A and B are shown apart, each in its own frame.
Chain A
Amino acid sequence: MAVSSDISIAARGQKNRLVELAVRCVLVLCALVAVATTIGIVASLLFEALRFFQQVPLTDFLFGLEWSPQTALRSDQVGSSGAFGAVPLIAGTLLISAIAMIVATPLGLMSAIYLAEYASERTRGIVKPLLELLAGIPTVVYGFFAALIVAPMLRNGGESMGFEISSESALAAGLTMGVMIIPLISSLSDDVINAVPQSLRDASYGLGATQAETIKQVILPAATPGIAGSLLLATSRAIGETMIVVMAAGLAAKLTANPLEAVTTVTVQIVTLLTGDQEFDSAKTLSAFALGLLLFVITLCLNVVALRIVDRYKEQYD
Chain B
Amino acid sequence: MTESAIILKSAGSKRHRAEARFRAYGLIAIAISLSFLLVMIGSITMRGTGAFKQTFVQIEVNLPAEKLDPEGTRDPEVLRKARYGKLLKSALRDQFPDAKKRADKKSLYKLVSSTAEYSIRDQVAANPSLVGGTHPFWVRASSDVDQYIKGAIDGSLEESQRRVNDKQIAWIESLEAGGNIESRFNTQFFTGGDSREPEQAGIMGAVVGSALTLLICFLLAFPIGVLAAVYLEEFSAKGRINRFIEVNINNLAAVPSIVYGLLGLAILLNVFNLPRSTPLVGGMVLALMTLPTIIIASRSSLRAVPPSIREAAFGLGASKVQTTFHHVVPLAMPGMLTGSIIGMAQALGETAPLLMIGMVAFIVDVPGGVTEAATALPVQIFLWADSPERGFMEKTSAAILVLLGFLVIMNLAAVYLRRRLEIRW
Residues of A within 8 A of B (CB): 16, 19-20, 23-24, 26-28, 30-35, 37-38, 40-41, 44-45, 47-48, 106-111, 113-115, 118, 127, 130-131, 133-134, 136-145, 147-149, 179, 182-183, 186, 210-213, 215-216, 233, 236-237, 239-243, 246-247, 267, 270-271, 274-275, 280, 288-289, 292, 295-296, 299-300, 303-304, 307
Contact = CB atoms under 8 A, between A and B. Distances in A.
Contact of A47 (B228, B231, B266): B266
Contacts of B355: 246, 271, 274-275
A240 B349 contact: no
A86 to B, nearest CB: 16
Interface string B37-62: 10010011000000000000000000
Cβ-closest 4 pairs across A and B: A240-B256, A114-B26, A138-B349, A110-B29
A24 to B, nearest CB: 6
B248 A295 contact: no
A179 B33 contact: yes
14 contacts: A26-B227, A30-B225, A31-B245, A107-B33, A134-B33, A140-B381, A145-B44, A179-B40, A212-B22, A213-B18, A236-B254, A295-B259, A299-B256, A304-B251
B291 A37 contact: yes
Given A31-B228, A247-B385, A242 B266 contact: no
Nearest to B32: A107
B273 to A, nearest CB: 12
Given A37-B291, A45-B266, A131-B33, A27 B251 contact: no
Contacts of A216: 22
A33 B291 contact: yes
B235 A213 contact: no
A275 B30 CA distance: 39
B319 A270 contact: no
A42 to B, nearest CB: 10
A20 B263 contact: no
Contacts of B378: 138, 140
Contacts of B231: 27-28, 30-31
A295 B254 CA distance: 12
Contacts of B130: none
B36 A296 contact: no
Contact of A299 (B34, B254, B385): B254
B305 interface: no
B98 to A, nearest CB: 38
A153 B393 CA distance: 17
Contact of B258 (A130, A143, A280, A295): A295
Contacts of A34: 228, 245, 248-249, 252, 291-292, 295
Query: What bracket does the count of chain B residues touching chain A fall in?
Result: 35 or more
A194 to B, nearest CB: 15
Contacts of B228: 27, 30-31, 33-34
A109 B247 CA distance: 26
Contact of B262 (A127, A134, A136, A289): A289
B18 to A, nearest CB: 6
B168 interface: no
Chain B facing A: main interface SS:
helix
A141 B403 contact: yes
A81 B26 CA distance: 54
Q: Which residue among A37, A134, A143 has the maximum number of chain B CB atoms within 10 Å of its CB?
A: A37
Given A19-B321, A138-B350, 14 more contacts: A24-B321, A34-B291, A45-B266, A111-B29, A114-B30, A136-B345, A211-B22, A215-B22, A240-B256, A246-B352, A247-B386, A274-B265, A280-B270, A299-B256
Interface of B: 15-16, 18-19, 21-23, 25-30, 32-34, 36-37, 40, 43-44, 223-225, 227-228, 230-232, 235-236, 244-245, 247-252, 254-260, 262-263, 265-267, 270, 288, 291-292, 295, 319-321, 325, 345, 348-352, 355-356, 358, 360, 378-379, 381-382, 385-386, 393, 396-397, 400, 403-404, 407, 411
B5 to A, nearest CB: 16
A211 B263 contact: no
A274 B356 contact: yes
Nearest to A135: B346
A271 B352 contact: yes
A236 to B, nearest CB: 6
Q: Which residue among A31, A40, A118, A299 has the maximum number of chain B CB atoms within 10 Å of its CB?
A: A31
B385 A38 contact: no
Nearest to A138: B349
Contact of B382 (A30, A40, A108, A247): A247
A239 B259 CA distance: 12
A303 B21 CA distance: 35
Contact of B381 (A141, A288, A303): A141
Contacts of A144: 44, 381, 385, 396-397, 400
Contact of A110 (B25, B232, B400): B25
B262 A44 contact: yes
Contacts of A182: 33, 36
Contacts of A48: 266
A40 B250 CA distance: 16
B23 A45 contact: no
Nearest to A37: B288
Contacts of A239: 256
A310 to B, nearest CB: 10
A148 B385 contact: yes
Q: Which residue among A34, A47, A139, A215 has the maximum number of chain B CB atoms within 10 Å of its CB?
A: A34
B19 A16 contact: no
A212 B255 contact: no
Contacts of A246: 352, 355, 382
A136 B411 contact: yes
Contact of A211 (B19, B255, B349, B397): B19
A186 B250 CA distance: 19
Contacts of A131: 30, 33-34
A267 B352 contact: yes
B30 A127 contact: yes
Contacts of A134: 33, 36-37
A303 B254 contact: yes
A142 B400 CA distance: 10
A114 B29 contact: yes
B15 to A, nearest CB: 6
Contact of A210 (B19, B33, B36, B250): B19
Given A31-B228, A210-B18, A149 B258 contact: no
